[in-house]
Chain A
């Protein structure tokens, strides 16, 4: 019973440590995003501004996802376990905040948090930042897992993943028929749903490409690039296949209805859901091909 009590005490202690590191995160967030400082340091009212609540909680969900990858290994002693945790936690949330800053700068370069969320209460903007916060958290979770205990490899993988997500986020005009900047100014929810599916889809592909054992740097990088290239080959097949199988009629594809390509048509919530869901599902199916096909001894090597 002693051991069980002791384990329970340790688990409660680690819970407190996680809370303490979240406290550090709060201050670090204030440094990176001075405009959000008032929300992190003053009392927050969730029902006051829905778009701000979405934005605020997306960052909290994100850090929760990242922290879910951390572990306490007590085999080497409690002090080293705590050191490991804090080293990874501090690196984890700093990289997370820098990543969010980079992706915000790439995707939302025309928009300001203060204007969109605080003044205009733009829910579309908040849903897009939610997609980014959660998506980047999943990528960081994967690279934290892959880098294991090495902080050097964590930085290398983070840079690599930032390049990938940077390129990926620029492909939105290729996937969607919606004009990103124009519709975001109009607070278009269909756009935000379409972007949500698009961004999370890319996150799926990137995390599945990054998620394998890092034995040598060269082969790891080659494997990741090859998996992403394979994904680019397979993804359009699934997108087209889903449309044919479920007989989805996209009015924008029809040349006769070109004139329908106006804002009223495209601003239907259903259209955004269709675009986002189609891409997201296709990405899910794509990672089956890139990650879950095991050839084994099908092609024997001599």
Chain B
């Protein structure tokens, strides 16, 4: 066996052993495509909101989703998962959107990206339509679910009946719906609230400017304590 083969063998052994014992790959779940969502997210009703999507690495990138899993009777949980490149690219415009939902009544599942919380809008168990003086109808959650607009980062937004109807049409056609005025999704105004929140930014690496970094070179400890 020549030296080159030995060297290649050495690299393969190193990669094999690293793969077997690598704590990072064991810690973070890997989801190749969205068909796995169904078995990955348990319970019903459940709505999964994409809080952040980021990539790590130098030449060969690893792709991540930072997700918020919303249950009704449990506190929401946030998870970070590794995803396939195709899935990562697919949800490029869907930041802040619900990318997976499961209904409680019939267990029906949806993979079409929709505004967060849409699963609960129009369901009389969670709220009802309120009439305004103008005659327009607006969704209001029951008292028990009054925190939902905050949990879904709606801010002052409340869905109108028109919004609800349009969302249903898009869902039936399996087309992503970003709101009547594109207020949701990566470019949406309401989603920017999510991007500004601490929760979605916790995995973003700290940014440091060049000058800030160079200042460290000139730092000195105090003369005395």
Cβ of B25 to closest chain A Cβ, rounded Å: 7
**Bound state CA distance, A78 and B56, in angstroms?**
11
Q: Does B22 contact A (CB under 8 A)?
A: yes
Q: Does B221 contact A (CB under 8 A)?
A: yes
Q: Does A80 contact B (CB under 8 A)?
A: yes
Q: In the complex, are the beta carbons of B218 and A151 less than 8 A apart?
A: yes
Label chain B's interface by main secondary structure.
Answer: loop
Q: In the complex, are the beta carbons of A9 and B59 less than 8 A apart?
A: yes
Cβ of B137 to closest chain A Cβ, rounded Å: 49
Interface residues on A, range: 20 to 34
Q: Does B108 contact A (CB under 8 A)?
A: no
Binds A, one of B11-19, B97-105, B178-186, B192-200: B11-19
**Bound state CA distance, A151 and B216, in angstroms?**
8
Q: Does B3 contact A (CB under 8 A)?
A: no
Q: Does B225 contact A (CB under 8 A)?
A: yes
Pick the residue among B18, B24, B61, B224 that contacts A219 (CB under 8 A).
B224
Cβ of B53 to closest chain A Cβ, rounded Å: 16
Q: In the complex, are the beta carbons of A6 and B216 less than 8 A apart?
A: no
**A residues near B217, Cβ cutoff 8 Å:** 87, 149-152
Q: In the complex, are the beta carbons of A77 and B205 less than 8 A apart?
A: yes
B185-219 near A? 1/0 per residue, CB < 8 Å: 00000000000000000000110101001001111
Binds B, one of A96-104, A167-175, A210-218: A210-218
Number of interface residues of B (CB under 8 A): 30
Residue of A nearest to B85 (CB): A2
Pick the residue among B18, B25, B58 that contacts A10 (CB under 8 A).
B58
**Bound state CA distance, A10 and B62, in angstroms?**
14
Q: In the complex, are the beta carbons of A76 and B213 less than 8 A apart?
A: yes
Q: In the complex, are the beta carbons of A80 and B208 less than 8 A apart?
A: yes
Q: Does A245 contact B (CB under 8 A)?
A: no
Residue of B nearest to A13 (CB): B58
**Bound state CA distance, A83 and B217, in angstroms?**
11
Q: Does A293 contact B (CB under 8 A)?
A: no
Q: Does A1 contact B (CB under 8 A)?
A: yes
Cβ of A13 to closest chain B Cβ, rounded Å: 8
Q: In the complex, are the beta carbons of B223 and A152 less than 8 A apart?
A: no
Cβ of B209 to closest chain A Cβ, rounded Å: 10
**B residues near A151, Cβ cutoff 8 Å:** 217-218
**Bound state CA distance, A8 and B14, in angstroms?**
10
Cβ of A244 to closest chain B Cβ, rounded Å: 43
B61-76 near A? 1/0 per residue, CB < 8 Å: 1100000000000000
**Bound state CA distance, A77 and B208, in angstroms?**
9
Using a CB-CB cutoff of 8 Å, which residues 184-228 of chain A contact chain B?
Answer: 214-220
Q: In the complex, are the beta carbons of B225 and A216 less than 8 A apart?
A: yes
**Bound state CA distance, A151 and B57, in angstroms?**
29
**A residues near B224, Cβ cutoff 8 Å:** 216-219
A60-90 near B? 1/0 per residue, CB < 8 Å: 0000000000000001111010010001000
Q: In the complex, are the beta carbons of A217 and B223 less than 8 A apart?
A: yes
Q: Given that A80-B208, A83-B213 are known contacts, is A5 also in contact with B218, CB under 8 Å in the complex? A: no
**A residues near B19, Cβ cutoff 8 Å:** 1, 4
Q: In the complex, are the beta carbons of A2 and B57 less than 8 A apart?
A: yes
Q: In the complex, are the beta carbons of B57 and A6 less than 8 A apart?
A: yes
Q: In the complex, are the beta carbons of B15 and A3 less than 8 A apart?
A: no
Q: In the complex, are the beta carbons of B15 and A5 less than 8 A apart?
A: yes
Q: Does B2 contact A (CB under 8 A)?
A: no
**B residues near A3, Cβ cutoff 8 Å:** 22, 24-25, 56-57, 60, 62
By a beta-carbon cutoff of 8 Å, the part of chain A in contact with chain B is 1-10, 13, 75-78, 80, 83, 87, 149-153, 156, 214-220
Q: List 19 A-B contacts (CB under 8 A).
A: A1-B15, A1-B19, A1-B25, A3-B56, A3-B57, A4-B22, A6-B60, A8-B15, A75-B205, A150-B217, A150-B220, A151-B217, A152-B220, A153-B221, A156-B220, A215-B225, A216-B225, A217-B220, A217-B221
By a beta-carbon cutoff of 8 Å, the part of chain B in contact with chain A is 11, 14-15, 18-19, 22, 24-25, 56-62, 205-206, 208, 210, 213, 216-225
Task: Please name the 4 residue pairs, one residue from A and one from B, whose CB atoms are nearest each other, closest first.
Answer: A6-B60, A6-B57, A218-B224, A151-B217
